[in-house]
Amino acid sequence: MKLFILPLLIIFIMAPAGINSGPTPQARAEHLIRGFLVTKGSYMALYFSDIDTAFKTVEEEKGFQELSSRVKAYQDSTEMFSRIDITKANFYYNTYKKLNLQKDSMRIHYDPQPLGYLMIHHFQLAGDPWTDSFILDFNISNILKIKETIE
């Protein structure tokens, strides 16, 4: 019985080491970003951050953007009518305050949703140093967004 258990134990210990699951998400993300940047000119990678989850911000939400533009319009109208018609200016100001409170409430209670993966990359392109944030889809097959990162 002991002779039978020993070979089984060796198989169970050694088997996981032989399984190749392919490149890691980190390696796949680096490869995708490198492939994109190589097409833009003379490229040299310097540093990749660890892959992380990217979340939507409240400023990217359509409802928040619409509310922000309404708040700005009522603020402008308040200023415009403050010298001409105080009653109208007060009406616009009260509406502005109400909309601004809604906007603040939306910002405070915002529940960010995952957008994809985030990776920060330091590199040189045509001899110039760059640091950009790349947002990738969860399949790591497309670059959704690129933002220049200021250090």
Q: Which residues contact 43 (CB under 8 A, 6 or more apart)?
A: 34, 37, 123, 124, 125
Residue 148 pLDDT grade (very low, low, confident, very high; cuts 50, 70, 90): confident
What's the pLDDT tens digit per position in 75-99?
A: 888 888 878 888 888 898 999 999 9
Do the beta carbons of residue 115 and residue 106 sit within 8 Å?
no
User: How far does the chain reach from its first CA to its final CA, in angstroms?
Assistant: 65
The total number of residues shown for the chain amounts to 151
What's the pLDDT tens digit per position in 29-44?
A: 999 999 999 999 999 9
pTM surpassing 0.85? no
